[in-house]
Chains A and B, each alone.
Chain A
Amino acid sequence: MANTEREADFSAYVRARQKAFARFAYLLTGDPYSAEDLVQSALAKVYARWDHISAVESPDAYVRKVMVNEHTTWWRRTWRHRERTDSELIRIMDPASVDAQRHDSDLWTHVRSLAPQQRAAVVLRYYEDLTEAQTAEILGCSVGTVKSHTSRAIRSLRSTMKEVTP
C-alpha cells in the first residue's frame, strides 16, 4: 500500500472510530489529557502497522489491546506524565444532572484509583461487554487472572457502591 493510500485508509478508519477510542481511553486514564495522549500514542503505533492491522477482521480489538498495553507501560515511565497538560481533541461534557454527578462521584473516584490492569479489566468487562476470554486476550493474561482482577476490583468498589446505591 503506498503511503498516500495508507494515510487515506487509516484516516477514514480513525474518523469512524475515534469517539469510541476516546471514550475507552477516558475510562482507562480518568482524565481527558491523558486520554488524548493515549489515543494519539496508540494510533501512531497502529498506523505503523496499518498494512497488517487493516487486513485483520477486527482492527478495534487490536487498537484496544495497544491502548491497554500502552497505558500500563506509562506507569513505568514517569516522564510520560509530564508530556501533556491540555487537550483540544477530547472534550468532557458536564453530567446530565447535578444529582447524577453527586451520586456517581465517589464511585468514579474509586474506579480511577484502581491499578491500571484492574481498571482495564473492569472497563473491558463492564463497559465494552467483552467476555472473560476476550478480556484475557487483550490483557495478555489468563481467564483466571481476569476473574481475579474483576472480583478484586468489585470487592474494593463494594463499600463505595453500598454507600451510593439506594
Chain B
Amino acid sequence: MTTSDQQEHELQNLLRQQADRVDVPGDFAPVAIAARRRSRRNRAVLGSAAAVAVIAVGVPAVWSSRSGPSPVPALTTSTTSVLSPSSSVPTTPATTPPTTPAGTDSPDPSATNPPPTGAVATRENTYALDDTIRVADTALQLEKGTVVENLTVLANGGFVLQSHMSTGPSNSEMELLSPAGRRVTNLGLSGTYAVSPDGTRVLAKSGAADTLVVYAPDGSVVGQRTDAREVAAIVGDVAYLNGDASRGSLEWNVVTGATKELPAHVVAVSRDRTQAALQWFVATDAMDEICWAVVDLTSPSFPKTVEKCGPDENPTMFMPGAFSSRGTYLVGSHYIDGGDWFIPGVVRVSDGTVELGWTNDRAPILSGWTWHLDDDESTLLVSRNTSDPPSPARRNTLQRCTLSMDCTDVRPTVNLADKGGSTQPRYVVPR
C-alpha cells in the first residue's frame, strides 16, 4: 500500500469512526412534515386567507410519534371572564357544556350565539393564548392541551381554528367554531383554508382529498368542487385556487360555477379583485430561490406589474401572503426553513419596496410567529419572539409594532418551554 493509499485509508477510518458515534433517538419524519407544513402555510395558502393583510405562520412544533394516539383536537368550550385584560394565565373553565360531534354539516342553531359576556370577536379584540381563545375580557376554553396553530375571526364573531393536541400525531385539524367557541363543523385534517375579507365565506381543503368546499359561518355548505389545486383565497363568492405551472391557477365563482384560468402560483388576491400576488420557488435543489410577482387581473393577459425573482432581486426570500386592507402592501414572511421563528415582511405593492422585513444579515429583524397588519396599514399585531438573542426562543410577547419597528406590549411576556429541541409560541394572533 502506498503512502497515499494509507492516508486515504486513514481518512476513511476516521470518517467511519466519527459516523458510528451518531445515534438517532428521535424521529425526523414528523419534524420534517411539520416544517414543510409551516412553509406551505407561510408561502401560499393560509397567509392569503384573511380578510386583510395577515400571515398566520404555522406552529413550529415538534411532535413525537412516540407519544401515541391522541384525541382529535376538537373544541369543546366553556367560558369564563378573564380576571385582567392583561392576564397571561389561562383561566379555568367554570362549566363544561356538552361536546358537539365532529363533522356536522348542517347549520348549527347555536352558531350565532355570542360568548356569555356578550363580547363579539373581532380581529382587534381576539387572540389565542395556550389552549384558550381570548375575546376582549372573555376566555373561551378549548380542550386541554390544544395547541392553536392559527385562528381567523368570522363575520358572525365565530372562528376558524386550526390546531393539534400537544401530544399525539402531527395531524392538525381545521374546525369552524361558533362565537361561543362551540364546534360547528369539522373542515378536515392536515388541510388548508382561506377566509373572505368580509368574513362570510370559508374556503377549505382537507389534506385527505381533492375536494374544495366553501362554507358559510354557520357551517352550511355554499359550494364544492373537486380539484387538485390548492386553496389560495376567497373574495365574496369568488374562490381562487393555487395551481402549479402545469395546471395554472383558477378563479371559481361559487354561486354560478363559472371558472376562469389564471396564471400559476396565485397566493393572494386584493379585496377589489383587481390584483393577485404570485409566489413560486425556482427549482434548485437547495430551493433557496424564491420569486414573487403581482399581476393585473383586469387585463386578459394578466401582465406583471412588479416581479422580484431569485437571489439578486429577492435575496431575503420574501414570500407574500396577503394584501393589506387598502391594497397598498403585501404582507408575508421571509423564508426560513427549519426555523423556530419567522420574520414578518411588508412590501409595497406598487414597486416591491421593503417597508418592514429582513433586508440583509446585519439589519435588525422582527422575530415572531404570527402577525397581521391592522386595517390602518401602519401597525402590526405580532406574536413576537422577545428572546435576546432570538435563538433559542424562550420568551413570547403580544406586541403592536409600527412598520419602523417601534413596539409596545399588548399582553405580558410569557416564557416558552422547549419541546423536543424546538419551541412553540403561546400567543397566536388572528389572521
Which residues on B sit within 8 Å (CB–CB) of A48?
A: 36, 39-40, 287
Residues of chain A with a CB closer than 8 A to B29's CB? 10-11, 14-15, 18, 43
Size class of the B contact interface (CB-based, 8 Å): 35 or more
In contact, A88 and B337 (Cβ under 8 angstroms): no
B121 CB to closest chain A CB, in angstroms? Answer: 30
Residue of B nearest to A25 (CB): B22
Q: Does B260 make an interface contact (CB < 8 A)?
A: no
Max chain B C-beta neighbours (<10 A), residue from A35, A48, A157:
A48
B389 at the A interface (CB under 8 A): yes
Contacts A47-B33, A66-B285 given; does A82 touch B21 at CB 8 Å: no
Q: How far is the CB of B168 from chain A (nearest CB, A)?
A: 14
Return the contact of A87 from the options B20, B284, B421 (Cβ within 8 A).
Answer: B421
A114 to B418, alpha carbons, bound, how many Å? 33
Whether B286 pairs with A47 at a CB distance below 8 angstroms is no
- In angstroms, Cα B84 to Cα A3, docked, is 42
Interface centre among A100, A126, A140 (most CB of B within 10 A): A126
For residue B338, CB closer than 8 A to chain A, the reply is yes
Q: Are B24 and A90 in contact (CB under 8 A)?
A: yes
Q: Which residues of B contact A (CB under 8 A)?
A: 4, 6-8, 10-12, 14-33, 35-36, 39-40, 65, 171, 189-191, 207-210, 284-288, 336-340, 358, 361, 365, 389-392, 418, 420-421
A–B Cβ pairs within 8 angstroms, 10 of them: A14-B32, A44-B39, A47-B33, A47-B36, A48-B287, A89-B24, A93-B23, A107-B10, A157-B7, A158-B7
Give the top 10 A-B pairs by smallest Cβ distance, nearest first. A89-B26, A3-B207, A43-B32, A44-B35, A41-B338, A11-B29, A23-B19, A88-B421, A69-B286, A127-B15
Q: A157-B11, A165-B10 are in contact. List 13 more A-B contacts (CB 8 A).
A: A22-B28, A27-B18, A79-B365, A85-B392, A89-B27, A89-B31, A91-B22, A91-B25, A95-B21, A122-B15, A126-B8, A157-B7, A164-B10
